[in-house]
Structure 1
Amino acid sequence: MAVKLFGCVCDQFHSPGAGLGMAGDRVSVPVPFYVIEHPSGVAVFDCGLHADMMQADDPYRRRLRSQEMDVSLAPEETVTRSLERLDIDPAAVRFAVLSHLHFDHAGGLNELPNATIVVQAREWAAGSDDELAARYFLPRRFFDLGHQVRQVDGEHDLFGDGSVTLLPSYGHTPGHQSLQVRTEAGDYILTADACYNCRTAETREFPAHFDGPAMNRSLDALLARRGPDTLVIYGHDPDQWGERALLSSSRG
């Protein structure tokens, strides 16, 4: 079986445009996650929103609204339903690779009971430290659920064959990571929140509350890996996702 990559959308995040480096008082952007079918098992890269976010009175949604943000999540947009549409049992997912521990990237972990979390060691350390977790908005409610955790340090070959490579891309959070996936028809670099959208990749106008110099270095390193057949997919770019899905099937 060739390596296959699928892109899924776990509904939307709503925010002032400036918070995402976008024009407009209010913007709505996709909350994507990715499914990788490999001969050695299924991996996901990020896992979207927690299903409790469907409820308007969810405590974290109330916190978001107090900061002029919000999310929307429909029953058909949960991690479980997206996997089921791909004929994948959520209980069979082997790896949950987390770009970082924010609520919209780690929220669906509770739907993947048997997955091993794969995360940068410095990100896990930040999430386990009360002060850093508060500073970087890393709520343990979403990721500290008793899963097995594989902490890696820097670049990491997930399956040992070069097809799926974790790439450190620090700056958005202390241990943010991105992912490169190689298929027969082309390569993908999934930046996650190392860069929200194509415009930011061009302007380098990162929101002020992140480590801009570190994000610039990380993005330079990611873009330097591009080849002629590489597609760079940014973290929350509505232009790349169109109606709902950028990748509905594999290229390889």
Structure 2
Amino acid sequence: MADPRIHHLNCASMHPVAGFSLEHRGGAFTGLVCHCLLIETTHGLTLVDTGLGTTDVRAGAQRLGRMFWHVVRPALDPRETAKYQIEALGFSVADVRHIVLTHLDVDHAGGIGDFPNARVHVLAAEHAAAQARRHLKERDRYRPAQWPARTEWALYAPEGERWHGFEAVQALTGLDPDILLVPTAGHTRGHAAIAVRQGAGWLLHAGDAYFHRDQMARHAGCPLGLRLFEAAMALDNGQRRTNQARLRELALDDDTVRVFCSHDPVELAQATPPSEIAPAPASNC
């Protein structure tokens, strides 16, 4: 596709408990974000992750789950929903034809119902895990009420080509070939990174494969609170560490790929032109 216009959106500000442990000593912790992408393509608009949706904002803890509500403490500002921000850009919800998900955790898939015309693309292993919710860790993180019965799913088996050190990478049905699904299991069973070609290089949305920018540094580090949270939430810590190491190698050694994760506010600020930065909402805590 022609070089697309890509908007970087924060679709859920969060203010977790013990926030001081989520940044390095002496660093100012401003909360977490949910970094989503809105891509203007020849096939309409494509969202990469949705953050929290309008119904999540209205219903709060009942819909999001008590653990997420009390531990992560989302701001629940309607101005942060993807729907609000897309309409503020002059588009309608009908223009969103595709949603591509890194995974189906509560803070990544809550906006699906706001876009009834969209096909939702996700790895089949993730969809199956979210439906079954067999493991204790999966019972609260997935909220099936967020996915309307009419949702049109496009599910992908782990098959495809090798891409920058990752296996089974594939283009998505009905989309330009320059948006790729990159399996990065570990945080969840079917977690994926999403690659989007931009100019001569790529953006790689790594989802929750890591949480802090310093994990992609030559001398990798991570604040204690985030390190503990990563390990606690991972379905397979071995896979998580392996894929995180691959991402770090890519971020350090290939200047054609820009890697970022879902929740680091500094990475979001670095990616967002000043004219597109919305005022930060007040915490609801």
Alignment pair present for 1:71 and 2:74: yes
Report the CA distance between 1:115 and its aligned residue: 0.5
Alignment pair present for 1:186 and 2:204: no
Task: Decide which of 192, 210, 216 is 1:195's aligned counterpart.
Answer: 210
Gap change, CA 1:140 and 1:57, over 3 Å in 2:
closer
The 5 Å alignment of 1:86-105 reads 86-105=89-108
Tell me the residue number matched to 2:255: 228
Tell me the residue number matched to 1:139: 143
> Is the contact between residue 10 and residue 30 of structure 1 (CA under 8 Å) also seen in structure 2?
yes
Task: State the one-letter code of the partner of 2:16.
Answer: S
Task: State the one-letter code of the partner of 1:78.
Answer: T
> Is the contact between residue 64 and residue 106 of structure 2 (CA under 8 Å) also seen in structure 1?
no
Instruction: String of CA shifts for 1:161-186, please: whole Å, max 9, x gaps.
Output: 54111101101111011111111153
Report the CA distance between 1:61 and its aligned residue: 4.9
> Is the contact between residue 17 and residue 23 of structure 1 (CA under 8 Å) also seen in structure 2?
no
The 5 Å alignment of 1:1-40 reads 1-16=2-17, 22-23=23-24, 28-40=31-43
| Partner Cα distance (1:33, 1:20) in 2 | 24
Q: Which runs of 5+ in 2 are unaligned?
A: 159-168, 277-285
Task: State the one-letter code of the partner of 2:203.
Answer: Y
| Partner Cα distance (1:240, 1:82) in 2 | 19
Report the CA distance between 1:6 and its aligned residue: 1.2
Aligned residues: 248
Task: Decide which of 119, 125, 131 is 1:116's aligned counterpart.
Answer: 119
Report the CA distance between 1:123 and its aligned residue: 0.3
Judge which range, 176-185 or 158-167, deviates more: 158-167
Instruction: String of CA shifts for 1:43-91, please: whole Å, max 9, x gaps.
Output: 1110010223434754145613664331012222211111123322211
Gap change, CA 1:55 and 1:181, over 3 Å in 2:
same
Tell me the residue number matched to 2:231: 208
| Partner Cα distance (1:112, 1:89) in 2 | 9
Question: TM-score normalised to the size of structure 1?
Answer: 0.85
Judging by fraction of residues, say which structure has more helix: 2
> Is the contact between residue 7 and residue 33 of structure 1 (CA under 8 Å) also seen in structure 2?
yes
RMSD (Å), alpha carbons: 3.0
Judge which range, 79-88 or 93-102, deviates more: 79-88
Tell me the residue number matched to 2:84: 81
Instruction: String of CA shifts for 1:125-184, please: whole Å, max 9, x gaps.
Output: 101114247446211111253211110123221266541111011011110111111111
| Partner Cα distance (1:163, 1:57) in 2 | 36
> Is the contact between residue 35 and residue 262 of structure 2 (CA under 8 Å) also seen in structure 1?
yes
Tell me the residue number matched to 2:268: 241
| Partner Cα distance (1:89, 1:150) in 2 | 22
Gap change, CA 1:116 and 1:157, over 3 Å in 2:
same
| Partner Cα distance (1:228, 1:200) in 2 | 17
Report the CA distance between 1:92 and its aligned residue: 2.0
Instruction: String of CA shifts for 1:1-40, please: whole Å, max 9, x gaps.
Output: 532221101131121358995458x862112211111223
Task: State the one-letter code of the partner of 1:141.
Answer: A
| SS state at 1:193 partner | coil
Gap change, CA 1:3 and 1:20, over 3 Å in 2:
farther
| Partner Cα distance (1:124, 1:20) in 2 | 32
Judging by fraction of residues, say which structure has more strand: 1
Tell me the residue number matched to 2:155: 151
| Partner Cα distance (1:4, 1:64) in 2 | 37
| SS state at 2:33 partner | strand
Task: State the one-letter code of the partner of 2:49.
Answer: D
